[in-house]
């Protein structure tokens, strides 16, 4: 192996391992708010159960997309289940006042219960996602209905091991 491919491989590994907050800022992304919580352990408990298992997910997603288009916001489609601790942690975090204001300004958020990966799977399939590789899975959709984050759908499936600020930074990278 020559030095050039070895260096490229090392750089790629560092970028993959780097937290979102350590990556260069995207010129078009809004600045993430500074999150007061330093640890997810500081979230108020009990954590929310964000997924309505009896909801009409098709109607909820359609309504969120319509509201987002009218308000010139992104739609954040949150796929998960109440059994998932990472899903519940994320739901609790985005309700924190310093992050809630940011999320409300930039996103229409809609939660979709996936059961045990056996419910509402037709919704991610519309965006070319045949199988969820974990939850929470987030689709960021623009006002034209285009998926904005095709390479980062599963970035938060291990949310409980991230910092609150890293989660906020992930949300900010898709905004303008």
pLDDT tens-digit map of 29-46: 889 999 998 999 989 988
CB 169 within 8 A of CB 40: no
Measure the CA–CA gap between 2 and 88, rounded to whole angstroms: 46
More confident residue, 64 or 37: 64
User: Which pLDDT score, from 0 to 100, does residue 27 have?
Assistant: 52
Strand pairing class (137-141; 107-113): unpaired
Tokens of 150: 């095709």
Q: Tell me the sheet residues that pair with 139.
A: 77
User: Which pLDDT score, from 0 to 100, does residue 28 have?
Assistant: 63
User: Which pLDDT score, from 0 to 100, does residue 124 have?
Assistant: 98
Tokens of 55: 């909801």
Question: What does pTM read for this prediction?
Answer: 0.81
Collapsing DSSP to helix, strand or coil, 152 comes out as coil
CB 99 within 8 A of CB 91: no
Q: How confident is the model over 80-121, as pLDDT tens digits?
A: 999 999 999 999 999 999 999 999 999 999 999 999 999 999
């Amino acid at each position: 192996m020559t030095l050039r491919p070895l260096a490229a491989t090392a750089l790629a590994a560092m970028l993959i391992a780097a937290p979102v907050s350590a990556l260069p800022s995207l010129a078009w992304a809004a600045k993430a708010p500074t999150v007061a919580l330093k640890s997810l352990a500081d979230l108020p408990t009990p954590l929310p159960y964000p997924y309505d298992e009896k909801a009409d997910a098709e109607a909820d997603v359609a309504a969120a997309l319509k509201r987002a288009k009218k308000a010139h916001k992104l739609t954040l489609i949150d796929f998960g289940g109440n059994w998932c601790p990472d899903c519940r942690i994320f739901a609790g975090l985005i309700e924190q006042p310093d992050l809630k204001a940011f999320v409300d300004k930039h996103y229409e958020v809609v939660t979709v219960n996936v059961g045990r990966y056996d419910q509402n799977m037709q919704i991610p399939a519309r965006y070319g996602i045949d199988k969820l590789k974990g939850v929470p899975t987030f689709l960021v959709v623009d006002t034209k209905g285009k998926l904005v984050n095709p390479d980062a759908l599963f970035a938060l499936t291990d949310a409980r091991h991230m910092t609150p600020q890293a989660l906020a930074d992930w949300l900010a990278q898709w905004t303008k």
